[in-house]
Amino acid sequence: MSEILFDRIALIGIGLIGSSIARDIKKLGLARQVVISTRSAETLKRAEELELGTAYTTSAAEAVEDADLVIVSVPVGASEAVARQIAPHLKAGAIVTDVGSTKASVIAQMAPHMPENVHFIPGHPLAGTEKSGPDAGFSGLFKGRWCIFTPLPDTDRAALDRLSAFWKALGSMIDEMDPQHHDKVLAIVSHLPHIIAYNIVGTADDLETVTESEVIKYSASGFRDFTRLAASDPTMWRDVCLHNKDAILEMLARFSEDLAYLQRAIRWGEGDKLFELFSRTRTIRRSIVQAGQDVDVPDFGRHALDK
């Protein structure tokens, strides 16, 4: 058991991320009280059944009363509404953070509402799976993963250090960058891959010449890798697309340009160009495995899991 880092923590939103945080807090004993809030009475009931906190309410305003740390884990499009609700009820000196996948938009939505005597520190833990909801969370989700802060210019370093200590207790590694750069980085490492995955699964679903049952039956030859990302939470990803539009459109334009080049090489039988690209991309995979960011077993170790 670690030391108590905050007396009272309020979790606004209790999906995959919120409920994983709750499980870690409980397991590690990082807070005396954990108040859980979500708009849906049904989800709240489930959180209570799972014993994820010490108190439960559908009112975000009520949840943040007296809280030393407030963690907002909602689809990014709901950030402003939450900020408006909680602002008048925040305790002086409280730290307010979030876990949203886009940062410039979340700051634009929340910062104007934050009282001056509160530390608002936008954050983004780079962790998750394709599952969603309070049952999908698990302790250890953030272990060995990055948590990126995009502090505002006037951020109090002591508050940032306290919040860092919290994420480190969950096993995360900490990084800092400015919100605009964060949004560009995430557009390529996360948003574009999800959009492309959703798109290819949609294309396959719409074919007339190949049946859906054939696509499913033979999916192990490559297609299934995309379906994992394309099974992610639709609300979360709709909001990401709407709230990181510029960076995503830039990455999409580049991707499409490169794809047109590749398509042309296929049409004209330019084997050298294809071979050059197909060789170059191997190196990146190797670096990712070396950096400990993926498992070093063929086929994601599915064969090992089968046994």
In whole angstroms, what is the distance from residue 108 CA to residue 103 CA? 9
Least distance to a copy of itself, CB of residue 31, Å? 24
Query: What string of DSSP letters covers 183-232?
Result: HHHHIIIIIHHHHHHHHHHHHHHT-SSS-HHHHHHTGGGTHHHHHHHTTS
Tokens of 193: 């891959």
Residue 138 half-sphere exposure, CB side, CA atoms within 13 Å?
7
Site string for a copy of itself, 79-118 (x = CB under 8 A): ----------------------------------------
Best CA proximity match to 86, nearest among 107, 71, 105, 99: 71
Least distance to a copy of itself, CB of residue 179, Å? 14
Lay out the sheet containing 123-125: strands in order across: 123-125, 146-149, 173-176
Site string for a copy of itself, 285-304 (x = CB under 8 A): xxxx--x-xxx-xxxxxxxx
Based on the shown chain and the rule CB under 8 A, indicate whether residue 201 belongs to the binding site for a copy of itself.
yes
**Near a copy of itself in 145-184, by CB under 8 A:** 145-146, 148, 181, 184
Instruction: Please compute Rg for the chain using Cα positions.
Output: 21
**Near a copy of itself in 202-261, by CB under 8 A:** 202-207, 209-210, 212, 214-232, 234-235, 237-238, 241-242, 245, 248-249, 251-252, 254-256, 258-260
Least distance to a copy of itself, CB of residue 154, Å? 26
Based on the shown chain and the rule CB under 8 A, indicate whether residue 42 belongs to the binding site for a copy of itself.
no
In whole angstroms, what is the distance from residue 233 CA to residue 230 CA? 9
Least distance to a copy of itself, CB of residue 26, Å? 18
Site string for a copy of itself, 256-285 (x = CB under 8 A): x-xxx-xx-xxx-x-x--xx-xxxxxx-xx
Least distance to a copy of itself, CB of residue 191, Å? 8
